[in-house]
Amino acid sequence: MIRINPHYPKLQASYLFADIARRVSAFQQQHPDKHLIRLGIGDVTQPLPPACIAALHQATDEMANAANFRGYGPEQGYDFLRQAIATHDFQARGAQIDADEIFVSDGAKSDTGNIQEIFAQDVRVAIPDPVYPVYVDTNVMAGRTDAAVDGRYPGFVYLDSTAANGYVPALPSEPVDLIYLCFPNNPTGATATRAQLAAWVEYARQNRALILFDAAYEAFIRDPELPHSIYEIPGAREVAIEFRSYSKTAGFTGLRCAYTVVPKECMAWDDSGQPVALHALWMRRHTTKFNGVSYPVQRAAEAVYSAEGQQQVRALIDGYLDNARTIRRAFEAMGFACTGGENAPYVWIDAQRDAWAFFDLLLHRAGVVCTPGVGFGRCGQQHVRISAFNSAENVANALQRIRQALQ
Summarize as ranges the residues that interact with ligand MLT (CB under 6 A).
41-43, 109, 132, 186
- 2, 177, 264, 269 from 281: Cα distances, Å: 30, 17, 11, 12
* Smallest distance, ligand MLT to C-beta of residue 378, A: 17
Instruction: State the minimum distance, in angstroms, from the CB of residue 274 to ligand MLT.
Output: 36
Nearer to ligand MLT, 236 or 316 (CB): 316
- At CA 38, angle to CA 105 and CA 309, rounded to 5? 45
Q: Which residue is nearest to ligand MLT (CB)?
A: 42
Q: Of the two residues 109 and 279, which places its CB atom closer to ligand MLT in the complex?
A: 109
- Contact predicate 311/50, CB 8 Å: no
Decide whether 42 or 377 has the Cβ nearer to ligand MLT. 42
**HSE-CB of 143 using CA atoms within 13 angstroms:** 8
**What one-letter code names the amino acid at 336?**
F
User: How far apart are CB 389 and ligand MLT at their closest, in Å?
Assistant: 8
Task: Report, in Å, the least distance between residue 249 CB and ligand MLT.
Answer: 12
Cis, peptide link before residue 130, omega less than 30° from 0: yes
Angle (CA) 286 290 296, round 5°: 120
Nearer to ligand MLT, 112 or 204 (CB): 112
Distances (CA, A) of 343 to 110, 112, 155, 217: 24, 22, 33, 9
- End-to-end CA, the chain: 59
CB of 91 to ligand MLT, least distance (A): 27
Q: How far is the CB of 8 from ligand MLT (least distance, A)?
A: 20
Looking at the Cβ atoms of 228 and 248, the one nearer to ligand MLT is 248
- The answer to whether 229 touches 93, Cβ cutoff 8 Å, is yes
* Least distance between ligand MLT and beta carbon 246 (Å): 12
Residues 327 and 344: beta-carbon distance below 8 Å? no
Q: Where are the beta strands (DSSP E) in 60-185?
A: 102-105, 125-129, 156-160, 178-182
Report CA dihedral (51, 222, 166, 192) to the nearest 10 degrees.
Answer: 80
Q: Is 107 or 155 the residue whose CB approaches ligand MLT more closely?
A: 107
Per the DSSP assignment, residues forming a β-bridge with 339 are: 348
CB closer to ligand MLT, 132 vs 153: 132
Closer of 119 and 132 to ligand MLT (Cβ): 132
Minimum distance, C-beta of residue 171 to ligand MLT, in the bound complex (Å): 25
> Nearest distance from residue 131's CB to ligand MLT, in Å?
10
How many alpha carbons lie under 13 Å from residue 56 in its C-beta half-sphere? Answer: 15
Backbone CA torsion sign across 180, 185, 188, 193: positive
Please say which residue, 78 or 389, places its beta carbon nearer to ligand MLT. 389
Strand residues in 271-375 grouped as ranges (E) = 275-277, 338-340, 346-350, 368-369, 371-372
**Shortest gap between Cβ of 69 and ligand MLT (angstroms)?**
33
State the angle between helix axes of 307-333 and 392-406 in degrees (0 to 180), rounded to the nearest 10.
Answer: 10
User: Closer CB to ligand MLT, residue 43 or residue 308?
Assistant: 43
